[in-house]
Amino acid sequence: MDIQTLASNNYMDPNFDDMDLKNRKVQHCEDRVDSGVDSLKEDEYIKLLGEMANLEIPRESVNTYEPWKQEVTEDGDTYLHLAIIHEAEDYAIQIIKQCHNDSFLNRQNNQRQTALHLAVIMEKPQMVERLLKAGCDPCLVDQSGNTALHIACKRGSLACFSVLTQIQTQHLRSILTLPNYSGHTCLHIAAVHCYLSMVEILVQLGADINAKEQCSGRTSLHLAVDLQNLDLVRTLIALGADVNSLTYGGYTPYHLTFGRTNCEIQSQLFNRTAQELIPMPESESEESDEELASDDECIYDDIQFCGR
């Protein structure tokens, strides 16, 4: 007999007298020596029984088969993907409501895009918010290794960016450190596309301003010099970027100013770079030139020309 039936049939019976109540209490004490029932006053005990009678025991939900969840196009798009792509927001909202905390929300198409990726691409911040609150995973990446936040940074979608950085923030730190398959973090992408406000916000949110992209070890400051973007260089320096950070080849951001037209960037970096790092590092081409020069100085006495 369950708790609710027991409470409603016996203890809540108006004919149930005090003597039976005391007997029940004694029986409880004998059955469970660790019970605290015997320490309760009678009015507290009756109140407890009343609360027990009102308990609703949750039953396991029955998983009903929903064939529409299995339907996909030749591109691997589900009905939710299609509703977002074709801007059928009413249908998308209905699907999201029916799939709250369901793995269906994280289904990926042939390009490994989730509905969240597509909502960012379609510039639908309200849909992004609905998906996140319904349990869509913001850490999933597409075929290029981009999370939804990477895409927002690439497209300069400040509205979607704001939603992605304000909901499910427990995942934010890991996303900020995650490089895509080109080796770029969200901060690198925002810097490359010169979205200064995003760069500032990302650093404030905890993105590593000195993180190196995985291809050549350039930081966002190196990338700003490559782009010859003075405003971005100034912004990064003001945010605390390390001007002495070295690429995998041993180059500081200052070294990348050589052969470039913006003298102001060169001046800004020269005044801040450590003096011992100012000289250009020796390159392989310089070493090979030195080897050739030393070879020319050698005197060969065993060469014959025209028999001599």
Q: pLDDT tens for residues 161-178?
A: 999 999 989 999 999 999
Q: What is the mean pLDDT of residues 189-195?
A: 97
Residues of the chain with CATH 1.25.40.20: 78-176
**Global confidence as pTM:** 0.71
Q: Most distant CA pair in the chain: distance in Å?
A: 135
Distances (CA, A) of 15 to 10, 20, 42, 219: 9, 10, 16, 81
Q: What is the mean pLDDT of residues 220-232?
A: 97
pLDDT of residue 9 exceeding 80: no
pLDDT of residue 88 exceeding 50: yes
pLDDT at 286: 47
The topology (CATH level 3) of 78-176 is: 1.25.40
d(CA 148, CA 30): 60
pLDDT tier, 48 (very low <50, low <70, confident <90, very high otherwise):
low
pLDDT at 67: 87
pLDDT of residue 301 exceeding 90: no
Spatial neighbors of 18 by CB under 8 A, at least 6 apart, are 42
Average pLDDT, the chain: 82
